[in-house]
Amino acid sequence: MQYGYFDDTHREYVITQPDTPLPWINYLGNQGYFGLISNTAGGYSFYRDARLRRLTRYRYNNAPLDSSGRYLYLRDDDANVFWSPTWQPTRRDLQDYSCRHGLGYTIIASTCHNIHAATRYFVPQNQNLEIWQLTLTNQRDTPAHLSVFSSIEFCLWDANDDATNFQRNYNIGQVEIEDGVIYHKTEYRERRNHFAYFACSEPLAGFDTQREAFLGAYRGWDNPLVVARGESANSVALGWQPIGSHHVPVTLAPHASRQLIFLLGYHENPIDAKFDPPDSQTLNKRTVQPILAIYLRREHVDAAFEALRAYWDRLLNTLQVETPDPHTNRMVNIWNAYQCMVTFNLSRSASFFESGIGRGMGFRDSNQDLLGFLHMVPERARERILDIAATQLESGGAYHQYQPLTKRGNDGVGSNFNDDPLWLILAVATYLKETGDWRILAAQVPYDNRVGSETPLYEHLQRAFRHTLDRLGPHGLPLIGRADWNDCLNLNCFSDTPGESFQTTTNQEGTVAESVMIAGLFVAAAKEMAAIAERYEGSTGAGGPCCEAANQMEATVLEHGWDGAWFLRAYDAFGHKVGSHECAEGKIFVEPQGWCVMAGIGIADGRAARALESVHEHLATPHGIVLLQPAFSRYYLHLGEISSYPAGYKENAGIFCHTNPWIMIAEALLGHGDRAHDYYLRINPSAREAQSEVHRCEPYVYAQMIAGRDAPTHGEAKNSWLTGTAAWNYVAITQWILGIRPTFDGLQIAPVIPPGWRGFSAARVFRGVTYRIHVERKGNGNAVSLVVDGQPIQGNVVPLASAGKSQVVVKVIQGK
């Protein structure tokens, strides 16, 4: 069953029924100001940091009810009835309804009582404000006398404190109202120099800023007193719950239309110009008034919207493909790339599954996110790499996360995840291949943001590399530390205290438990390091030792990390095997199969192929590849959080979608295009659209998890949007299945597509040059021959284009 459809021409998903299984959301904003918006206008906004600069309130654990949002109420003043044009919060029946989620904007339209209302929500480029552009049309043959009421509920900035510290917070709310603009200025009198504003383009009949005055005591957002009676209370909040609401009377002749603009924004004043006059306590509004004057005018708003569209077109045009499969095309060309950008912006901070309070930017997560977006915004990727590296510790290790507002590392969700540093190497290698910007390696970057500790970025990479070698366990495999990529495989935690965090508790010295997954990751990273070192330092540099370390680790994995039919997962704190046929539960895990094969381990002797067969046999389901089998049926003290989840959920044998593309890539490496693409389609959201009642999350973006075969809700997705799944699926399909792969020396074209495909074409911007690629299958197999601008070339790497060239045509014949 579907709840909408894809409009690929407009790059939109159109939801045609408001009561989707879960709120289906979208994001507004690209740089500083962000909003989450659901298909019924639920959600909230913040400036940079979802915890510390939250503009509006949201109550998460109401989902799917999803109430708190950017709500407008329409009232027919003749008939004394009112409704929400976005369905929520009144949930009155609508004659028609649609929600168009587009790239950086959402348009929610409906008709009720023959009044059509369409609201376009978006954030203009480089502005700290959001626009709600409401167009009302009277479809009646008689005049309509309407009232429009806007509403938002302000958050008192720190979202965590706002939700908990009521003894203080019920006393601090403050607002000002001037010329119909509502200014939210809680704590401005003291240490803040920022405020929020809520403005409207039209003359007002009234306003409200105190929640109880607007809703009425014991009434909810579905039935506000002010809307019911058709008249604002003109309340001025002091303490309690500051809100913003405007009342705009609108008369529409038969079949006439009118447009209203609402602005919600964030603004900072210079510390020495907070008040106007300076010795007063009155907010200085002069600095924000010019912005209001611009964006309350329709022509500027329309131009800002066009600029937003152009921005997304430019980003997405970096890679466009046309394959025989519509789900591949749609995800690569539109939604997967878009999700990668959103994930880049927000890491794991704010979604309907991440509260914006708990998690900052993950070190491991942000490095992997880079893989999916750096071709679209290489200059921002450069900045991100330097930010991440500046949180690295002098030991080469890493804080597990950092806060976007301060860019400083913290151990709020633990530290000593021994895989963390290695992801920096992969991210920088990918950046170098994409951009050729070798100068980044010389950039001076501090450790732990400490002034005076700077070294070149190159040294950061070497310390990351050595960090693993300095921490080897009894078998010569990398020690796992708190955990590796799998945060929940906590082999040194041993927690038996309720409520204790698995992510921060350590009850055992971590000198025995080892990770085969880190070993695979290390071999892959070491090979990248060797390639970088050879090019950067020449043959006498670190390249040789890196190769040796890779070979040594590979040998160790083959000796101690092979279980007979698949790669072992780990050794626990007692030196016992994890992920082995010897285990009662958790006999086979997906991560080491992916990473060891991606690192090239066991390809020569057939073990890689055997491991992938085992994945197919034991882990693959129609809904994707589960993380492990058999699921843990009880809590194992020595394994930690992984066994805390009911079977089939999350890390305990859920389909943890992030890991699936590792297997797709591994299959592609072995030349199995059919299997790689089959796995790709199993979790591709568009391909799952037809079973939305099972999948339940948005059909246009990946979710972190789909319930595994042990769960009663097998196939149900959770944790959509902010997941490394986005970047890795993008890499798997574009670089390994379609095979368009940046290398240090040029653009490699090595497709491993399903045998049934006749070919495909693609346009890829690489180092400023557009490559027009046409692949035609002429026979079986994956061998290719390339003709570049009419000239046959040796091998499958298109050499870098000569200066001044803007286009290169590549004809590829595949198969013999």
Put the strands of the sheet holding 769-777 in their side by side order. Answer: 319-322, 759-766, 769-777, 807-814, 784-788, 791-793
- In the shown chain, the binding pattern of residues 326 to 365 toward ligand BGC, with x for contact by CB under 6 A and - for none, equals ---------------------------------x------
**8 Å CB contact between 75 and 249:** no
d(CA 639, CA 642): 7
Residue at shortest CB range from ligand NOJ: 487
Among 51, 364, 650, 677, binds ligand BGC (CB under 6 A): 650
Residue at shortest CB range from ligand BGC: 487
Among 156, 175, 464, 488, binds ligand BGC (CB under 6 A): 488
* Composition of the chain by helix, strand, coil, percent to 5: 30, 30, 45
Can residue 484 be called a binding residue for ligand BGC (CB under 6 A)?
no
CB of 642 to ligand BGC, least distance (A): 8
CB of 348 to ligand BGC, least distance (A): 8
Looking at residues 348 to 377 of the shown chain, list those that interact with ligand NOJ (rule: CB under 6 A).
348, 362, 364-365
Q: In 3D, which of 690, 584, 597, 594 has the Cα closest to residue 633?
A: 584
Binding partner of 698, given ligand BGC, ligand NOJ, none, CB within 5-8 angstroms per partner class: none
d(CA 815, CA 785): 9
- In the shown chain, the binding pattern of residues 459 to 498 toward ligand NOJ, with x for contact by CB under 6 A and - for none, equals --------------------------xxxx----------
d(CA 729, CA 335): 12
Selecting among 49, 420, 487, 710, the annotated active-site residue is: 487
Binding partner of 413, given ligand NOJ, ligand BGC, none, CB within 5-8 angstroms per partner class: ligand BGC
User: Pairing between strand 807-814 and 769-777?
Assistant: parallel
Tokens matching residue 351: 């979604």
SS3 681: helix
Q: Which residue has the tokens 């574009």?
A: 734
Q: Hey, what long-range contacts does 141-144 have (CB within 8 A, 24 or more apart)?
A: 141/254, 141/255, 142/254, 143/251, 143/252, 143/253, 143/254, 144/76, 144/78, 144/115, 144/250, 144/251, 144/252
User: Pairing between strand 361-362 and 194-200?
Assistant: unpaired
Binding partner of 643, given ligand NOJ, ligand BGC, none, CB within 5-8 angstroms per partner class: none
Q: Taking the mean position of all CA atoms in its chain, how far away is CA 502?
A: 24
Can residue 572 be called a binding residue for ligand BGC (CB under 6 A)?
no
Binding partner of 485, given ligand BGC, ligand NOJ, none, CB within 5-8 angstroms per partner class: ligand NOJ
Can residue 651 be called a binding residue for ligand BGC (CB under 6 A)?
yes
Q: Provide CB contacts within 8 A for 250, sequence distance 6+.
A: 136, 144, 145, 146, 147, 148, 202, 258, 260
Tokens matching residue 800: 């870098």
Binding partner of 51, given ligand NOJ, ligand BGC, none, CB within 5-8 angstroms per partner class: none
Among 130, 554, 572, 651, binds ligand NOJ (CB under 6 A): 651
Tokens matching residue 439: 């100068």
Binding partner of 85, given ligand BGC, ligand NOJ, none, CB within 5-8 angstroms per partner class: none
Q: Provide CB contacts within 8 A for 570, sequence distance 6+.
A: 480, 489, 491, 513, 514, 515, 516, 517, 577, 578, 579
Can residue 503 be called a binding residue for ligand BGC (CB under 6 A)?
yes
In the bound state with ligand BGC, the residue whose beta carbon lies nearer, of 208 and 365, is 365
**8 Å CB contact between 70 and 81:** no
Looking at residues 356 to 415 of the shown chain, list those that interact with ligand BGC (rule: CB under 6 A).
359, 413
- Total residues contacting ligand NOJ (rule CB under 6 A)? 9
In the bound state with ligand NOJ, the residue whose beta carbon lies nearer, of 627 and 668, is 627
- In the shown chain, the binding pattern of residues 590 to 629 toward ligand BGC, with x for contact by CB under 6 A and - for none, equals ----------------------------------------
Q: Taking the mean position of all CA atoms in its chain, how far away is CA 444?
A: 29
Can residue 487 be called a binding residue for ligand BGC (CB under 6 A)?
yes
Binding partner of 201, given ligand BGC, ligand NOJ, none, CB within 5-8 angstroms per partner class: none
- Total residues contacting ligand BGC (rule CB under 6 A)? 8
Q: Is residue 93 among the annotated active site residues?
A: no
Catalytic machinery residues: 487
Instruction: Write out the residues near ligand NOJ by the rule CB under 6 A.
Output: 348, 362, 364-365, 485-488, 651
- Residues lying near ligand BGC in the complex (CB under 6 A) are found at 359, 413, 487-488, 503, 641, 650-651
